[in-house]
Structure 1
Amino acid sequence: MRELSLDQLRTLVTIVDLGTFSAAANALHLAQPTISLHVSDLEERLGSALLMRGSRRVQATALGALVIDRARRLLRDADDLLDVARKHVEGKVGRVRLGTSTGVVVNLLPRVLRQLENSFPGIDVEVNIMGSNETMARLQEGTLDIGLVAIPITASKEIQITHWRSDRMMAFLPATWKSPAAIKPGWLMDKPMIFNDATTQMYRLTMAWFAEAGENPRARIELNYNEAMKSLVSAGYGAAILPLEQPLAAELDRHKDVRIVPLSPVLKRHIGVAHRALPNLDKATVNVLETIRQFQQA
């Protein structure tokens, strides 16, 4: 037996719903002979009559009623499939894998995800916490779709990186410490320091800032989680150099036992958005990228 046609099943259901062949032909924008052919072809395949032609209204036979009941389910499933496929093509649904650091996750990414939920609630963003180098490697092997990475960073020709935002680095000090209005590298040399992990871009950025002043500090402790570093500063454990990723007042409100002081010379942490070239991206990934760029800053 040949496979059943959804068009023929839709014709059968429409005839019974509307009561006549001519009404079904009008509703489906088909010629009446085509409607008749759909029914006769179905009856031939199934080996029995599906409709009883009355003087006023067409009715289903017992087998016809059974077929129509199943046909309604098939047609609903087919319509659902087409709707999901359309939304996928339009980028309204899908899964996007994103890699980023802990600092971005805590302060920046939640704002992006809230906007994304408002604009594209059907897109599921899978967030992977990792360093910039691992993010680039995962993009290269195809297990990530988007990365938020510290720049500059080495990239391959397959991966495109664009600047996203630059956040000013600040000295986070225990509130009980007295300090100048701007913190120079030399002032921190005799202070206990809390650094990012030595494998991170943030560590290399901080050490380069000290090196330009001829200083080579040693960390009291190294971590790879900015919020944990701030908690240690708040407890008086030491000073940290971290990006200011939200307004100063909001940061101080969250960490009441911390003083935040500018650095001299000024130091900035730059973040880029990394992904494969646009022709190779699905629309859901493109929509996530466009949402991320709404939070772009110099």
Structure 2
Amino acid sequence: MRNLNLDQLQTLIAIADLGTFAAAAHALHLAPPTISLHIKELESRMEATLVVRGRRHAELTPAGQALVEEGRKLLAASDDLIDLVQRRASGREGLVKVGVSAGVSTRLLPLMLDALSRRSPGVEVKLEAVGSSDAMQRLKAATLDIGIVASPQPAMAQIRLMPWRNDHMVALLPAAWQTPDTITPEWLSSRRWASFAPATQMHGLVSSWFGQAGFNPRPFLTLSYPGALKSLATASQSAAILPLEEVEDQMHSPDVQVRNLSPALMRPMAVAYRSSPAPGMAVTAVLDVLTEFSNA
């Protein structure tokens, strides 16, 4: 039995993405007859029609759609394998895929990556913005190596959760606002405030802070990144509740003011990783650096 040809598979995926044989030929730098030959041989190998070629557009058959969907995973696995072999051949340690939730400080991440590059220059980190629940599922599926997630998380077989940080939350407010020394839910509920997206831990924390005081205000705007929330306060558009380490660089800015919350609000986070099989050297190196930045 002949094996599946990855070049032919890539051709089919290019047709699916670009819509025509001609566009696929241009993108892959192949002659149009080569594209047609790839599809003909792939259909022969699959014993199924994969593409219906129309006047202006090529349509996938159900069999073609199934092959494209699973084929993307196969090509990604092939790229990962090539990367692994090249790293081993050059003496590099490996690639570590780290899922990062929205609440992780954008100031901490560069510091951690710099520490890793100095300690383990052969380790490369690929960061992905992933919600906490999705990160846990991807760890289980082995498509992530490490997840920085909201805490607590439901227990999951073969996934270890290590307490990582427990940070104070503060209010970042426009400098022009007249504010009390500490910000209460009652005071902020009547002002414009922005929050993280509803599906995030940060949104839930802030909503709970309001709710425990008997308030349920709607945010002026919801965004996914701390930097965007900070920019709203800088532009005098709204307040935001953020981790202290996220706003430490703006403590003396003339454009904003930072106030403590009353009652106090904490943001707990954990580092999640697969405990079985045991982490390899590259994953261990990243875990060691994360531990250095822990305050839990």
- TM-score interval w.r.t. the shorter chain? 0.5 to 0.7
Matched, 1:120 2:120: yes
Q: CA RMSD in A?
A: 2.1
Native 8 Å contact 1:234 1:256 kept in 2? no
Report the AA paired with residue 112 of structure 1: M
Q: Which runs of 5+ in 1 are unaligned?
A: 1-80
Report the AA paired with residue 250 of structure 2: E
After superposition, give the CA deviation of every residue in 1:143-199 in whole Å (9 maximum; x if it has no partner): 000011111122312211111111110011111111111111001111011011111
After TM superposition, the score normalised by the length of structure 1 is 0.67
| Aligned mate of 2:271, from 252, 270, 273 | 273
Native 8 Å contact 2:105 2:245 kept in 1? no
Matched, 1:209 2:219: no
Residues 19-98 of structure 1 correspond to what in structure 2 (within 5 A)? Answer: 84=88, 93-98=93-98
Query: In the aligned structure 2, how far is the partner of 1:208 from the partner of 1:269?
Result: 12
Query: In the aligned structure 2, how far is the partner of 1:279 from the partner of 1:141?
Result: 13
Aligned to 2:160: 160
Aligned to 1:41: none
Matched, 1:282 2:265: no
Shift of 1:131: 1.6
Aligned to 1:176: 176
Matched, 1:252 2:251: yes
Query: In the aligned structure 2, how far is the partner of 1:85 from the partner of 1:274?
Result: 30
Query: In the aligned structure 2, how far is the partner of 1:141 from the partner of 1:182?
Result: 44
Shift of 1:101: 2.5
Query: In the aligned structure 2, how far is the partner of 1:152 from the partner of 1:100?
Result: 15
1:137–1:278: structure 2 CA closer, same or farther, 3 Å change rule? closer
Query: In the aligned structure 1, how far is the partner of 2:254 from the partner of 2:283?
Result: 38
Give 3-state SS (helix, strand or coil) of 1:161's partner: strand
Native 8 Å contact 2:106 2:246 kept in 1? no
Matched, 1:133 2:142: no
Aligned to 1:100: 100
Q: Which runs of 5+ in 2 are unaligned?
A: 1-84
Query: In the aligned structure 2, how far is the partner of 1:206 from the partner of 1:105?
Result: 16
Native 8 Å contact 2:164 2:294 kept in 1? yes
Report the AA paired with residue 203 of structure 1: H
Aligned to 1:28: none
Aligned length: 211
After TM superposition, the score normalised by the length of structure 2 is 0.67
Identity of aligned residues (%): 40
Aligned to 1:72: none
Give 3-state SS (helix, strand or coil) of 2:183's partner: coil
Native 8 Å contact 1:96 1:284 kept in 2? yes
> Based on CA coordinates, which of the two structures has the bigger radius of gyration?
1
Query: In the aligned structure 2, how far is the partner of 1:189 from the partner of 1:84?
Result: 56
Residues 175-194 of structure 1 correspond to what in structure 2 (within 5 A)? Answer: 175-194=175-194
- Segment drifting more, 224-233 vs 95-104: 95-104
**Structure 1 consecutive aligned stretches of length 4 or more whose deviation exceeds 6 Å:** none
Native 8 Å contact 1:103 1:227 kept in 2? no
Native 8 Å contact 1:234 1:257 kept in 2? yes
Aligned to 2:197: 197
Query: In the aligned structure 1, how far is the partner of 2:281 from the partner of 2:169?
Result: 35
Native 8 Å contact 1:136 1:155 kept in 2? no
1:209–1:108: structure 2 CA closer, same or farther, 3 Å change rule? same
Give 3-state SS (helix, strand or coil) of 1:104's partner: coil
Aligned to 1:148: 148
